[in-house]
């Protein structure tokens, strides 16, 4: 698919290399070198994917991620030299869909971009709507509702929720959810799933500490309650 990709990277040489590889993969690419320009471009023309460096001038990448996620479900691929598990989990907690550590091979960035774009493409979602009680997921429209209330989800959150809701009552381990959402990926830890579940509970549960929909099966994983 041909997509419009916004790359926010203040290292000009690195940004040009990323643009070269993404263009070679068939995408239209816009480069910006500071956080405020990234926010302005997202608001002016919503990209299909945001490649976001965390160490940006003007507005930090973390702040950009937070503000973009409040306004949009655009997939966000974070790129940074910060490589600890806590750094990655913080990025996911703010709404990133994937996380790539510098230095990286541009071919890996292109591969991750393909996955995010494919999973965010409504035309790639052929499943019918799924209903569990008042919780409704519509893959064709990339929509989630609780009753009449719409819920904004990231691409990763949506895929986790879809996997769980497709089999109410079935328990999925964290490893199974990682594979469902990201495929086999050495950079994604199972703790990432915990972060996404926490964020989903904040969005869909009346009381996230006492969830009605997203249930923990201690020592095993997670499930959506059986709606029967």
**Phi, psi for residue 175 in degrees, rounded to 5:** -60, -40
What is the structure's pLDDT at 138? 86
Does the pTM surpass 0.85? The reply is no
What is the structure's pLDDT at 102? 87
3-class DSSP state for residue 14?
helix
CB atoms within 10 A of CB 40: 12
Beta-carbon contacts of residue 142 (< 8 Å; ≥ 6 apart): 73, 120, 122, 125, 158
> Dihedral sign, CA of 189, 210, 144, 165?
positive
Distance of CA 212 to the CA centre of its chain: 23
Dist CA 68 CA 63 (whole Å): 8
pLDDT tens per residue, the chain (228 residues)? 689 999 999 999 999 999 999 999 999 999 999 999 999 999 998 899 999 998 899 999 989 999 998 888 889 999 988 767 777 778 888 888 888 888 888 988 998 898 888 777 655 445 678 888 889 888 777 789 998 899 988 878 888 898 898 888 899 998 888 887 776 554 667 888 899 999 999 999 999 999 999 999 998 999 998 855
What is the structure's pLDDT at 198? 93
What is the structure's pLDDT at 87? 76
What is the structure's pLDDT at 103? 87
What is the structure's pLDDT at 122? 55
3-class DSSP state for residue 191?
helix
């Amino acid at each position: 698919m041909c997509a419009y990709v916004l790359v926010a990277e203040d290292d000009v040489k690195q940004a040009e290399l990323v643009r070269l590889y993404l263009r070679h993969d068939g995408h239209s690419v816009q480069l910006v070198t500071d956080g405020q320009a990234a926010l302005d471009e997202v608001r002016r023309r919503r990209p299909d994917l945001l490649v976001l460096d965390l160490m940006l001038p003007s507005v930090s990448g973390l702040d950009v991620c937070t503000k973009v996620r409040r306004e949009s479900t655009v997939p966000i691929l974070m790129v940074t030299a910060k490589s600890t598990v806590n750094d990655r989990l913080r990025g996911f907690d703010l709404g990133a869909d994937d996380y790539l550590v510098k230095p990286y091979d541009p071919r890996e960035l292109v591969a991750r971009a393909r996955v995010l774009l494919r999973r965010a493409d409504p035309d790639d979602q052929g499943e019918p709507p799924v209903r569990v009680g008042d919780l409704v997921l519509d893959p064709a429209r990339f929509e989630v509702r609780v009753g009449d209330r719409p819920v904004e989800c990231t691409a990763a959150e949506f895929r986790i929720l879809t996997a769980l809701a497709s089999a109410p009552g079935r328990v999925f381990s964290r490893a199974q959810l990682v594979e469902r959402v990201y495929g086999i990926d050495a950079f994604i830890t199972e703790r990432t799933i915990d972060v996404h579940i926490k964020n989903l509970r904040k969005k869909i549960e009346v009381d996230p500490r006492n969830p009605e929909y997203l249930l923990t099966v201690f020592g095993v994983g997670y499930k959506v309650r059986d709606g029967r």
